[in-house]
Amino acid sequence: MQFHQIGAALWEIPPEGGMRVPARIYATPKMLDAIRNDNASQQAANVAHLPGIVNYSLAMPDIHWGYGFPIGGVAAFDLKTGVISPGGVGYDINCGVRLMVSRLTRAEVTPRLRELVNQLFRDVPTGVGSAGALSVSEDELKRVVARGARWAVERGLGEESDLEYIEEHGCIAGAEPARVSARAWERGRGQLGTLGSGNHFLEVGYVSEVFDARAAQVLGLHPDQVTVIIHCGSRGFGYQVCEDYLSVMDRAVKKYGIELPDRQLACAPVDSEEGQAYWGAMQCAVNYAFANRQVIAHHTRRAFEHALGLDRHAIGLRTVYEVAHNIAKFEWHPVEGREVKLCIHRKGATRAFAPGRKEVPSAYQAIGQPVLIPGDMGRYSYVLTGTEQAMIQTFGSTCHGAGRALSRVKAKQMARGRNILQELEQRGILVRGQSRRTVDEEISEAYKDVSSVVDACALAGISNKVAQLRPLGCIKG
């Protein structure tokens, strides 16, 4: 496979075989060997075979092997000839990140950090089953997937102001509960307000460095300010929606005569019965995830109050922004000089809209959409903003995190004989997890250095660095 460098942090794989468009990969020269070895670049090239794909198959610097699409993959499809693919969204539909900031400083929180981390671990259920979740009836869950985060706010689980700063205001149109299976309803009933396991986490940190003072001021970020990052998705509900529709798409591929280089790219025309059915079910999972993070944010505020002995006003935890990582959406973008409505797949990628775009909250119009890039529990995360170049190059998209560098098996092998929790505590980071296995699988060495990923995006011009956040405490499943 040939890689042609066409920018400081941009490479192109020209079309060959059945590729309809080039594949473009954002990476520095130093990152390219690891990307080649992971073979995720082949997945990016495979996506370029799909009918109706527009301009390019894109991959962000945190690209790594995924199901069908690479994680870090972005692709846009024409609504008349294009397709929709569950592999282009992922199993954890609307996995995403919320950033909250407080009125507190690191010095004010550090003396009671252990109590805070323990309280969060008690109040926010973690792990595969997540006992202690907010359980609802199937009828109520149908209202959840129709209302998203607003459902939680209407029940006192959050603040009206939260909704202004969530992508799609925490509720996307087009959810169709009738498209969801009985098994998905069953799995979703008992998991609202839970983190789950794997790479999901809730992290208390602080603003360690500011790169763009103007943008940081607009976002209300300042050095040593205590922050919270919530990273999770649609739990078993979204997983089941994906699972259900992969078999539907397998049949659709045969029905519509779609030729694929990889069966994991199973898809259906956007306007087909199968495509519309998946769309309606997927939007239910998107709204489930918005509600899930809203409930967790509410429990987080309560944990701060209990652990620190302060009232809500003194703590001042507010939502800066919340982004979705695994999603397909209808958006308007320029194609060959005219605005066209497209179906944008972002799998392990973040929307990064430029200043002035109507979807950006009014308070952030001058700086662009906030972009939240979590790293790993031992290093740092970043706040970025979207740019005009992102609109031109990537359909308003950028990276979503560090990207795994080691499999979970290899990470556990590297952690063998070590006490990871003790190592982190010696560096001033308190971590609570449901099991040692989970913590070992999530060691820092398992991930790329997120700073290199963020720098590649900044070098390519598809996002702007605003601030770095460092962890103080973290809870994991």
Paired tokens of 41? 């670049």
Cα separation, 82 vs 88, in Å, equals 13
Handedness of CA 206, 467, 38, 353 (dihedral sign): positive
- Cα distances (Å, whole numbers) of residue 212 to 219, 221, 384, 403: 11, 10, 9, 24
Please give the radius of gyration of the chain, using alpha carbons only, rounded to the nearest integer: 21
The closest of 37, 21, 116 to 395, measured between CA atoms, is 21
* Distance from the first to the final alpha carbon of the chain: 39
Residue among 200, 299, 345, 400 flagged as catalytic = 400
204 vs 193: CA distance, rounded Å: 17
Contact 383, 165 (CB under 8 A): no
Would residue 400 show up in a list of annotated catalytic residues for this protein?
A: yes
**Burial class, 139, CB count within 10 angstroms (exposed 0-12 / middle 13-18 / buried 19+):** exposed
- The dihedral built from the CA positions of residue 15, 18, 20 and 21, taken in this order, carries a sign that is negative
Cα distance between residue 342 and residue 22, in whole Å: 18
- The tokens describing 406, both together, are 């080691």
CA–CA gap between residue 435 and residue 425 (Å, rounded): 17
- Report the alpha-carbon distance of residue 419 to residue 310 in Å, rounded: 34
Q: Residue 294, Cβ neighbours under 10 Å: how many?
A: 29
Contact 244/37 with Cβ under 8 angstroms? no
Q: Is 115 exposed, middle or buried (0-12, 13-18, 19+ CB in 10 A)?
A: middle
**Alpha-carbon span 354 to 339, nearest angstrom:** 16
Question: Catalytic site residues?
Answer: 400
